[in-house]
A and B are shown apart, each in its own frame.
Chain A
Amino acid sequence: MSIRRIAALFRRVTAEIRRDRPSLGILFIAPILLTGLVSFILRESQAPAIAADIVAPAGAPATLGAALHVALVEGGATVTDISDEAAARADVREGRATLAIILPANPQDGLLVVTRGLDAPGDSAQIGVVQKALQGSVSSITGATVRPVRHETIFGQPTDDPVASLAPAIVGFFAYFFVYVLTGVSFLRERTGGTLERLLATPVTRAEIVTGYTLGFGLFATLQVIVLLLWALGTVHVPAIGPLPAFAIGLGIPAAGSPVLAFLVVLLLAVGAVNLGIFLSTFARTELQVIQFIPLVLAPQFLLSGVIFPVSSLPAVLQPLVGFMPLNYAVDGLRQVFIRGADLGVGALQLDLAVLAGIAVFFGVVASLTIRRDIV
Chain B
Amino acid sequence: MSVTLPANHVVDVAAPTIRAIGLRKAFGPIVAVDDVSFELGAGRIYGLLGPNGSGKTTLIRLLTGLGHADAGTAEVLGIQMPSRVTLGRIGYMTQSDGVYPALTVAENVRFFGTVYGRSEAAASLAALEVVALADRADTVTANLSGGQRRRLSLACALVHEPAVLFLDEPTVGVDPLLRVEFWAHFRRLADAGTTIVVSSHVMDEADRCDDLLFVRAGRVIARGSGADLRARAGTTDLEAAFLRFAGDGTEQR
Contacts and interface: CB of A to CB of B under 8 A. Distances in A.
B88 A202 contact: yes
Nearest to B92: A201
A193 B149 CA distance: 13
A343 interface: no
A201 B68 contact: no
Contacts of A202: 87-88, 112, 115-116
B77 interface: no
Interface in A318-348: none
Nearest to A196: B98
Contact of A203 (B85, B100, B156): B85
A140 interface: no
B116 A375 contact: no
A194 interface: yes
Interface hub of B85, B95, B96 (most chain A Cβ within 10 A): B96
Interface residues of A, number: 14
Contacts of B98: 193-195, 197-198
A193 B92 CA distance: 15
A197 B66 contact: yes
A83 interface: no
Residue of A194, A201, A375, A376 contacting most chain B CB atoms (<10 Å): A201
A203 B92 contact: no
Given A201-B92, A203-B84, A203-B87, A195 B116 contact: no
B99 interface: yes
Contacts of A7: none
Contacts of A201: 64, 66, 87, 90, 92, 94
A235 to B, nearest CB: 37
A199 interface: yes
B117 interface: yes
A317 interface: no
Interface residues of B, number: 25
Given A195-B99, A198-B156, A201-B87, A375 B67 contact: yes
Contacts of B201: none
B61 interface: yes
B97 interface: yes
A260 interface: no
A208 B100 CA distance: 18
A202 B84 CA distance: 7
Contact of B116 (A194, A197, A200, A203): A203
A192 to B, nearest CB: 9
A376 B68 contact: yes
Contacts of A194: 94-98
A201 to B, nearest CB: 4
A202 B64 CA distance: 10
A97 B129 CA distance: 74
Interface in A172-230: 193-195, 197-205
A376 B94 CA distance: 16
Contacts of A203: 84-85, 87-88, 115-117
Interface string B15-59: 000000000000100000000000000000000000000000000
B115 A199 contact: yes
B233 to A, nearest CB: 35
A198 B27 contact: no
A203 B88 CA distance: 5
Interface of B: 27, 61, 64, 66-68, 84-85, 87-88, 90, 92, 94-101, 112, 115-117, 156
The 6 A-B pairs at the shortest CB distance, nearest first, are namely A194-B96, A194-B98, A198-B98, A201-B92, A203-B88, A202-B115
